[in-house]
Chain A
Amino acid sequence: GEDVEQSLFLSVREGDSSVINCTYTDSSSTYLYWYKQEPGAGLQLLTYIFSNMDMKQDQRLTVLLNKKDKHLSLRIADTQTGDSAIYFCAESIGGGADGLTFGKGTHLIIQP
């Protein structure tokens, strides 16, 4: 079955790097996503990675995928107060309901 796990909270100092980790169980995942949800707002797609890639970088964001260990991480360089949000990892395997399976979300807390 599908299951996506994340830590519920991560606290970092402003200016440091944040690393949010995610593990998934379905090896047939085709795409893996990171969504950001700010307080009272909807879901914003941050980035995604295709399952045959190891790494994707987009400005301050770096996504690392270890397919062997089914581990996905999101690194945010130079974390700012505006990065404070809930970050959801999600996987898509296609077929069936073709929906996204989400993790429970990681609350990123920025300390001044």
Chain B
Amino acid sequence: EAQVTQNPRYLITVTGKKLTVTCSQNMNHEYMSWYRQDPGLGLRQIYYSMNVEVTDKGDVPEGYKVSRKEKRNFPLILESPSPNQTSLYFCASKPYMGGDETQYFGPGTRLLVL
């Protein structure tokens, strides 16, 4: 089954404790991205990756890092989480940058930073 998976689905942590949210897709997609969803703000793009070893900032990249060492994986790293990063995070992928295809979204990771 074609899908985007994220882990963990729920996470509670404390300020400053480094964490990683994993994202994996099994569709051989080149393009992957991370969004955060906050009440009243909709979804905003954090980072995206056009292909392996190619990443760039989205609209709200501060406080986040990403890596793309393999095509299928695109982890989101919070080196020193803060309470304002409490949010619902979605990973998404599509075949390649540009083009007409819609993005496939993962199920979301709900993060609470105390």
Chain A residue nearest to B103 in the complex (CB): A100
B62 to chain A, nearest CB (A): 15
Say yes or no: A99 contacts B42, CB within 8 Å: no
Say yes or no: A30 contacts B58, CB within 8 Å: no
In A1-15, which residues have CB < 8 Å from any B CB? 4, 8
Which of B43, B44, B92, B102 is close to A31, meaning CB atoms less than 8 Å apart?
B102
Say yes or no: A88 contacts B100, CB within 8 Å: no
Instruction: Given the known inter-chain contacts A31-B100, A43-B105, A105-B42, please indicate yes or no for A97 contacting B48, CB distance below 8 A.
Output: yes
Number of interface residues of A (CB under 8 A): 24
A97 to chain B, nearest CB (A): 5
Does B41 belong to the interface (CB within 8 Å)?
yes
Say yes or no: B42 contacts A103, CB within 8 Å: yes
Does A70 belong to the interface (CB within 8 Å)?
no
Instruction: Given the known inter-chain contacts A88-B43, A97-B48, A102-B43, please indicate yes or no for A48 contacting B98, CB distance below 8 A.
Output: no
In A71-112, which residues have CB < 8 Å from any B CB? 88, 90, 94-95, 97-100, 102-105
Q: List 14 A-B contacts (CB under 8 A).
A: A30-B100, A35-B105, A42-B105, A42-B106, A43-B108, A50-B100, A94-B98, A97-B48, A98-B98, A99-B33, A100-B45, A102-B35, A102-B43, A104-B41
Nearest 9 CB-CB pairs, A to B?
Answer: A99-B45, A102-B42, A104-B42, A102-B43, A42-B107, A43-B105, A98-B97, A42-B108, A94-B98
